[in-house]
Amino acid sequence: MTALAWDLLEAADVAAFLVPEGLIDRAPQVPWPCRAARLALPPGGMAALPSPLPAGVVVLEAPAGTPGTGADAGRGEAPAGGPPRAVAAGPAAGLARLSRAWPDLAALLARHDRTPLRLRFADGTAWDLSDRPRLMAILNVTPDSFSDGGLHESPAAALARAERCLAEGADLLDVGGESTRPGAAPVDAEAESRRVVPVVAALRTRFPAHRLSIDTRRAAVARRALEAGADLINDVSAGADPAMLPLAAAAGVPVALMHMRGEPGTMQRDTRYADLVGEVAEALESAAERARRAGVADDRILLDPGLGFGKSAEGNELLLRQLGALRSLGSPLLVGASRKTFIGHLTGVSDPAARLAGSVAAAVVAALRGAAVLRVHDVGATREALAVATALRRARGTDGC
């Protein structure tokens, strides 16, 4: 197993990897299987698991005493406690036995049975997200967004920006009328609608065949944007407005549900978590469940770890490193790292607009670790980098992950 797989584990943790069918023969060598999850062992621990394990299931156990949370955790160095243990292969019939012994694994398998990696729009057409990540171009019509505030407030400027993004290869234009940067003050629904609705309407007229999303926490704004032609709701509060998920269900549009702890105004005051990846996964899972209960179909749900929303720089890095664990939730992942503070923290570049190289690197890593949609400012540069990274990844024979 490679150091990448090791990144998923913390001390005394266990990870289950469900290996794609075509790679079962090479299960122990699979570099980064897409279907990986950190799971708690069943009562009785490893001894409670049937032996041999069924085909396609790999269990990694972090040896006790491994410095999984120390300064070198997840940096790709060999763990001090020796390599993780990999157990693979066995009869497929053993899967049911394994699931009985290990309820968390049974839930994981059920999620994978349920969800195709695609995103279906209201008109019934769908994106197949297993081929390449889609690019969601950021189009903020705000005076105060952290990077592009004030640049595209007039419909003419917004149209020019949209035209450039689409020419550079954007799959989706994400129109936002409220900055959610740390410390931002909320905007009321009327003011937000006045900013975004005319822009969505103008984009719909000018680019009838392109996908548009509305980045809002307010159902009243989303409703008007959908009427003006938006195809997707991007909700950084994951349905905090009780009318949002029923609206998405009734309109039959996909909805992106993002993890955020607290409110933009205060979310960076305390960014400590006992288990960041576990808490984000749990919150996203319950957001997806709320969406399903409201009537949103499985193939209309996108989940997003919310980089920069109530997380420290190190927390954002950890979430990107362990994105594979969130893939186990079964829904396609949206990731927005573009120009954010943690990129500046890593590169030393303080001007958000100058964080191109770091943002592209983060987008490539997110894509290689399973992100299906990347929310970016710099469409052309990201598209070019992804073209190279995905081609070289294929050459390594890891297709299907």
Enter the tokens of residue 279. Answer: 């808490």
Of 38 and 377, which has the nearer Cβ to ligand HH2? 377
Residue 37 phi/psi, 5-degree rounding, is: -150, 140
Confirm if 328 and 37 have CB atoms less than 8 A apart: yes
CB of 260 to ligand HH2, least distance (A): 9
Interface residues with ligand HH2 (CB under 6 A) are: 138, 140, 142, 145-147, 176, 179-181, 215, 234, 236, 256, 258, 304, 306-307, 334, 336, 375
CB of 27 to ligand HH2, least distance (A): 34
The interaxial angle of helices 276-294 and 244-251, nearest 10 deg, is 60
- Alpha carbon 75 to chain centroid, angstroms: 21
CA dist., res. 123 & res. 126, Å (int): 9
Of 180 and 271, which has the nearer Cβ to ligand HH2? 180
CB of 158 to ligand HH2, least distance (A): 14
**Amino acid code (one letter) for 346:** L
CB of 181 to ligand HH2, least distance (A): 4
Of 140 and 328, which has the nearer Cβ to ligand HH2? 140
- Nearest Cα neighbor of 11 from 87, 72, 57, 99 is 72
Burial state string for 356-377 with b = 16 or more CB within 10 A and e = fewer than 16: bebbbbbbbbbbbbbbbbbbbb
Burial state string for 262-283 with b = 16 or more CB within 10 A and e = fewer than 16: eebeebbeebebeebbbebbeb
Of 74 and 254, which has the nearer Cβ to ligand HH2? 254
CB of 251 to ligand HH2, least distance (A): 18
Of 185 and 395, which has the nearer Cβ to ligand HH2? 185
Confirm if 223 and 249 have CB atoms less than 8 A apart: no
Q: Which residue is nearest to ligand HH2 (CB)?
A: 336
Of 234 and 268, which has the nearer Cβ to ligand HH2? 234
Bridge-based pairing state of the strands 134-140 and 371-376 = parallel
Residues that are catalytic:
340, 375
CA dist., res. 253 & res. 123, Å (int): 9
CB of 311 to ligand HH2, least distance (A): 11
Q: CA separation (Å) from 278 to 212, 264, 315?
A: 32, 22, 12
